[in-house]
Structure 1
Amino acid sequence: MSARAIWKGQLLVGRHQVTVKMYSAVEDRTVHFKLLDRKNHAHVQQEIVRKDTGEPVEPDARRKAFPLGNGEAVILQPEELASLEPPASRDIHLCRFVPAGLLSDQWYDRPYWLGPDEDEDRYFALARAVAQKQAEGIARWVMRKKRYLGALRAEGDYLQMITLRRSEQVMAMPEVQPAKSKAPSEAELKLATQLVDSISGDFDPAQWHDEYRERLSALIEAKLHGRKVTPLRPREPAASSSLEDALRASIGQGRKRA
């Protein structure tokens, strides 16, 4: 089954246009539950009610407000909020290209694939050029009544767009005071280096599973078939007497796994 595009647009690089389709690059696999009444298993639902009286409030009667403190707030009308929405557009403006790796990871938010729509030659030419230049394009666009900032990069033969966080969302590393103002000893540094070396290798994403989701699925399957399930809880690791002891133990475990 082919992937389904979630949005269509066109990349604008100067006067150059490349039509693209946008696809999700990640998938939410969270297990979702329904709420029931424990007495009779009837479905329950949440309701918006007045805090003072508990009376339900219909959607048309609700208003958003910005709290000012001291019990006061600025009330915003739906038409006022609607006037702030950006005009609809299918244009993805590439503002500039920067060297790949210039942005730290904390700037990146959610990835999307960009696939060719009509002119495949232009699409793959742009993807190859971005890859050869080892660059990322800073882009801005409007999608579903919201403005986005993103980084365009090449992944293999294709293009990927990762939405970026805004500057007011990205925090610098705070000044952290160490518990003890002393440099590690040569022995501790050597052991730490050995620890890194002992578990170095390639990254295989197939090795890493959502263990909670797998155990939850097994629990649901077992209850579905009437089997009794005994939950397994991981043992707490014993506290090490020192950093050196912890490092030695970790190195030993790494060598056993190897």
Structure 2
Amino acid sequence: MRSIWRGSISFGLVNVPVRVYSATESHDVRLHQVHGEDGGRIRYQRKCEVCGKVVAYEDISKAYDDGDRTVVLTDDDFSALPAEQAKEIEVVEFVPADQIDPIRLDKAYFLEPEKSALKPYTLLRRALEDTDRSAVVTFALRQKTRLAVLRVRDKTLLLQTMLWDDEIRAAEFDILDQVPRVSAKERDMASQLVESLAGDFDPGEFTDDYQVQLRQLVEAKLEQGDTLDTSATFGEKDEDGEGAEVLDLMEALRRSVDKSKERRKTQKKASGESSGQKARKKA
């Protein structure tokens, strides 16, 4: 991994030099725009409205227009801002971990300590673990002041940027002011459905079906070209599935519970057979 930023965490008089790395990456199949007739790549050109010339990316500057005047801001202008020069992740306060609403969370970054900072880095990590708190921090990255939360993930400090208060919309739906009558039987059946699907979250059990199928489609088209039969590749579409049937709420809940129980039995049986096969191989 390549670090995208270097700075330091400051809490009280303690300073912890760190390197910042992106904690996530996309697994999407990369697609390009092409001309459908001949497959030629579509390229976008940045043209100046004044001189009509194509402008290279490195020659493009940002500007603010108030309607009457335009102020051009260069990279040197941005780098001169005190916040941009700070290179400091300042701890503002330590808050209970459960007070951070997940809706605020944005991009995640791993923080790696410099060799000389391993002890204070470890001390901060253990302090967060011992108190079950997260650190609310501010810092500047890519020409923006960021609000973020600093928390522990395994042996690493994880920095996760947060949305500002005015960036989160309020959910104002008039229909929710109406309170429909929900019977005790319906609530009981809904609880049974929740229990039938209860478990411990394991992200490794989930796959991005769309990307898997897209890769399958790309590989099939590479082999067969435009003669590809998608029904042979993916199977026929189910036009008359059970989902099209109109069910009342109680019946839908009842069928869902039964279906979930049946699925659990199948998974348990498959898991038992898999364990038995591994045991026989060892023997």
TM-score (norm 1): 0.84
Cα distance 1:245–1:29, how it changes in 2: closer, same or farther (>3 A)?
same
Shift of 1:183: 2.7
Contact 2:61/2:74 (<8 A) preserved: no
Matching residue within 259, 262, 282 for 1:256: 262
Tell me which residue corresponds to 2:20: 22
Seq. identity, %: 25
Tell me which residue corresponds to 1:98: 95
Tell me which residue corresponds to 2:70: 75
Shift of 1:165: 0.4
Tell me which residue corresponds to 2:114: 117
Paired residues, number? 250
Shift of 1:37: 2.3
Tell me which residue corresponds to 2:248: 242
Shift of 1:25: 1.3
| Aligned equivalents of 2:218, 2:207: Cα separation in 1 | 18
CA deviation profile, 1:229-251 (whole Å, cap 9, x unmatched): 41545655123321111111111
Code of the aligned partner of 2:118: E
Shift of 1:66: 5.2
CA deviation profile, 1:47-90 (whole Å, cap 9, x unmatched): 34589xxx6664668875658xxxx6763423599458543232
Cα distance 1:17–1:187, how it changes in 2: closer, same or farther (>3 A)?
same
Tell me which residue corresponds to 1:43: 41
Hey, which of these two has a bigger chunk of helix by percent? Answer: 2
CA deviation profile, 1:192-218 (whole Å, cap 9, x unmatched): 111101110111211211111111111
CA deviation profile, 1:113-153 (whole Å, cap 9, x unmatched): 11222221111111011111111111111223322111011
| Aligned equivalents of 2:84, 2:62: Cα separation in 1 | 23
RMSD over aligned Cα atoms: 2.9
Code of the aligned partner of 2:149: A
Cα distance 1:159–1:62, how it changes in 2: closer, same or farther (>3 A)?
closer
Tell me which residue corresponds to 2:2: 4
Hey, which of these two has a bigger chunk of strand by percent? Answer: 1
Contact 2:14/2:120 (<8 A) preserved: no
Shift of 1:5: 2.4
Code of the aligned partner of 2:260: G
Contact 2:48/2:55 (<8 A) preserved: no
Match of 1:149, SS? strand
Code of the aligned partner of 1:93: E
| Aligned equivalents of 1:247, 1:90: Cα separation in 2 | 55
Tell me which residue corresponds to 1:181: 179
Worse-matched range after superposition: 120-129 or 83-92? 83-92
CA deviation profile, 1:149-203 (whole Å, cap 9, x unmatched): 1101112232111001011101233254248633310111111111101110111
Cα distance 1:132–1:50, how it changes in 2: closer, same or farther (>3 A)?
same
Contact 1:10/1:91 (<8 A) preserved: yes
Code of the aligned partner of 2:248: S
Worse-matched range after superposition: 164-173 or 133-142? 164-173
For residues 85-234 of structure 1, what are the structure 2 equivalents within 5 Å? 85=81, 86-118=83-115, 119-178=117-176, 181-226=179-224, 228-231=228-231, 232=234, 233=237
Code of the aligned partner of 1:16: V
| Aligned equivalents of 1:8, 1:174: Cα separation in 2 | 41
Code of the aligned partner of 1:141: F
Match of 1:251, SS? helix
CA deviation profile, 1:16-36 (whole Å, cap 9, x unmatched): 011222222111122222222
Code of the aligned partner of 1:88: Q
Contact 1:21/1:116 (<8 A) preserved: yes
Worse-matched range after superposition: 9-18 or 73-82? 73-82
Worse-matched range after superposition: 232-241 or 153-162? 232-241
Cα distance 1:5–1:57, how it changes in 2: closer, same or farther (>3 A)?
closer
